[in-house]
Structure 1
Amino acid sequence: MKDLIRANAGLLFAGVATFILMGAGQALFGPALPVYVRDFALGEGEAGLFVALLWVGCFLGVGFMFFKGALVGPRHTLAVMAAGMGLMAAEAGWILTFAGGMFFGMGYGMATAVFNPRVMRAFGTRGPSMLSLLNATFGVGAIAAPLVFVWLGSDPAWTFGLVALALVAVFALAGPAGRESVAVEGPVKAFRPHWGILAFGALAIGMEASLAGLGPTALIRAGIEETRAAQLLSAFFVVFLLARVVLIFIAHRVEPFVLYTLSIGSAALFALGAAVWTPAICFVAMGASAGVFFPGYYVTASGKMGEDLRVPPTIVAAGLVGAIATPLILAPLVAGMGERGFFWVSAALLGTATALALLSLRRMKV
């Protein structure tokens, strides 16, 4: 294993640094949203649009990867993300600010399709565990960003500006790391979309996006003050990170769809707890479930759909469909459902998905 790590040190550096900043950028959308609602006088639908545009950008980035993925390296993804963060830091009106969110999302989607398959292939049988490690580092940035946001006086301009500068620094150091892993050695399985697992992924990633993007607003609506909501989002990502660290040691030993099913089932229970008991504790606990959503989905889908270069963008794109649609649907829907409506709806969606996943366990085995 040490030899594999040494051989792929450049890939790991670029991937870890990029994922940390991806986590930081995404985690800032939630705490920044109430500030933008106030400063730009936005309605509920426009607020949901801000979160959704991140994922629209991701979808566009992944779409580009589907057709031109072999030409894209880490520096391309970092440049696009830095441009998006810079636009948001400028705060030149809500339209350009929202456009910056979409540009950041484009780089985010491209980076996901650049690094995940490369790490899976580079580490062979340990690929699922190393994939969990890579995605765990996402949580480091996601934990720190809301705390930095509060420390900087809940000022989106300063916080997004710092992330932009960090992305530029990684751009300068990343070089072409990871490009050597683009090609697949040996026979390649045919490209065959598996609509069942793609639908499960769309729902799970849609809920992950909603928890990160709409969660702080839902907590505020439930009576938690704004600064505390940002701190709870940081705690959510602490638990998120811990779950992915645990996956490093077990992901290669457990059937991936079993992990997926356990993750959405536990998330449904925690959402119900937030609705009937305490939103603060149960929202943070949902971080453990959300941390397992993507690894369980991605590894299952990879096993079902083959090794064609179009597979990783397709897997990510399906999740992004959910990530785009879910906040747009939930934001206006839960606005009139009382102070805990977000958690009631989340419990219903996740509970239904859990029942369907249990019925699909045999068919989803890889």
Structure 2
Amino acid sequence: MFSTPALVASCVGFALIGSLQSFYGPSIPALRTEFGLSPAAAGVGLTAHFIGGVGGVLLFNRVHAHVGNRTLLGVSYALMALGSAGFALAPTWPLALVAAFFAGLGFGGIDYGLNQLFAVGFGDRSTAMLNVLNAFFGIGAVAGPALIGVLGADHYSVVFAGCGVVSALLLLFLRGVGDTSPHPEAPADQAQGTAPASARTRAWLVMTAFVVLYVLHVGVEAGVGGWEPTHLETVGYGSAFAASATSVFWLMMTVGRFLVVPLTLRLPEHVIVKVSCAGMAVCLAAASVPAVAPFMYAGVGLFIAPIFPTGLPWLTRTVPLARSAGAHVIAASMLGGVAAGPALGAMIQWAGARSVPLVLCVIAVCCLGTSAWIDRATRSGSPA
């Protein structure tokens, strides 16, 4: 599926989309000054990006069967290049939002396209390679705010323009990508579209469970990223320490994906996902103890890291007929990140800031229950 240069370029591409997503937040002060925006209005830039991202995942999933892999990735890189450059150069805020939407479309296409190709393109090593790929997303997400910090928020246009240039350069490496993808084999009756109704129902139930798993785990991820500083400050830590501890959480997510690679060659996906869900639930419960809370949040980062990339090949193997299954769970992960903010905010406002780790622990336990249900359903052949 990939030549060595194309494989390296794909990893760079994932680091790039991680960086692009992380650029918007640190740029808000400069955006407010340049366009005269309120904090809420400035935050709409990231919303437009995510709306484009979900649209890109679903759109490129619909057309993937009719176009080759190179076309899908090429259009995605081109959209991200144009959108990023447009956001950097936009003279008005409405035009900047349009540019962010188109950058998001490209972001979604790359996220969907490379995750799908890595899920089926490396055989028994697909799970390991998916963890490596998504680790590069984390590298980009950690490096993006640092780059803005070095250059200054006033130079946000430089980093967005640079993102557009790198995205355009990645088009040069697409010749090393295989234009057709291998697909999981299905039984003869299913391959001909004659699967019994019970099998189709089971497939949809399992796919729905994967969507729930992804929404919940992204809710934990967004909840820790958004509320860890508030919780740590509430229990007595300084604001600078709390911010640094949250950065460690994101860093541990990246480290965790690299660390799990050798395990994916020895353990099946369902074991890794269930252990990861259990581990993050235990760490979140322990984070309610102030003395160890920062360390436990770092542990959550390590345990949550493998769930997204390890779940995709598990899904591909257990629901081989649903070409759109991967797209649905990737889109669900984006929507989960958007919805998690207000939903968790309402719960924490009701229960108090000290409840943050326990609220997130309940969600993690739901993740564990969902993953266990998927494992049981796919092993027994029945969703009951």
TM-score of the aligned structures, taking structure 1 as reference length = 0.80
8 A contact 1:267–1:350 mirrored in 2: yes
Question: Residue type matched to 1:167 in 2?
Answer: S
Look up the match of 1:127.
126
Look up the match of 1:113.
112
- Secondary structure (helix, strand or coil) at the match of 2:306 reads helix
Matches within 5 A, 1:267-346: 267-277=280-290, 280-306=294-320, 309-331=323-345, 334=348, 338-340=352-354, 342-346=356-360
Cα-to-partner distance string for 1:123-151 (whole Å, 9 max, x where unaligned) = 21222212222222222212222222221
Quick one: distance in 2 between partners of 1:217 and 1:33? 19
Change (3 A) 1:339 1:206: closer
Look up the match of 1:160.
160
Look up the match of 2:78.
79
Unaligned runs of 5+ in 1: none
Look up the match of 2:39.
42
Question: Residue type matched to 1:56 in 2?
Answer: I
Instruction: Give the number of aligned pairs.
Output: 356
8 A contact 2:76–2:106 mirrored in 1: yes
Question: C-alpha displacement at 1:152, in angstroms?
Answer: 1.9
Quick one: distance in 1 between partners of 2:321 and 2:351? 44
Look up the match of 1:170.
170
Are positions 1:240 and 2:253 aligned together?
yes
Change (3 A) 1:78 1:207: farther
Quick one: distance in 2 between partners of 1:204 and 1:77? 26
Quick one: distance in 2 between partners of 1:162 and 1:299? 33
8 A contact 2:253–2:301 mirrored in 1: yes
Quick one: distance in 1 between partners of 2:29 and 2:232? 9
Quick one: distance in 2 between partners of 1:47 and 1:66? 30
Cα-to-partner distance string for 1:280-332 (whole Å, 9 max, x where unaligned) = 44444332133112023212211221055433323323333423322343345
Instruction: From the CA coordinates, give the structure whose radius of gyration is larger.
Output: 2
- Percent same amino acid at aligned positions? 21
Question: C-alpha displacement at 1:42, in angstroms?
Answer: 2.6
Look up the match of 1:67.
62
Are positions 1:22 and 2:22 aligned together?
no
Quick one: distance in 2 between partners of 1:181 and 1:84? 27
Unaligned runs of 5+ in 2: 192-199
Are positions 1:142 and 2:148 aligned together?
no
Question: C-alpha displacement at 1:110, in angstroms?
Answer: 1.1
Quick one: distance in 2 between partners of 1:51 and 1:216? 21
Change (3 A) 1:22 1:353: same
Question: Residue type matched to 2:38 in 1?
Answer: A
- Secondary structure (helix, strand or coil) at the match of 2:179 reads helix
Cα-to-partner distance string for 1:190-218 (whole Å, 9 max, x where unaligned) = 58432222211222234334545x35874
Quick one: distance in 2 between partners of 1:244 and 1:318? 21
Cα-to-partner distance string for 1:72-102 (whole Å, 9 max, x where unaligned) = 4322111222333334434756555454444
What's the RMSD between the two structures over aligned residues? 3.6
Quick one: distance in 2 between partners of 1:358 and 1:268? 14
8 A contact 2:54–2:335 mirrored in 1: yes
Question: Residue type matched to 1:13 in 2?
Answer: V
Quick one: distance in 1 between partners of 2:81 and 2:6? 20
Quick one: distance in 1 between partners of 2:106 and 2:334? 13
Question: C-alpha displacement at 1:62, in angstroms?
Answer: 1.2
Question: Residue type matched to 1:200 in 2?
Answer: L
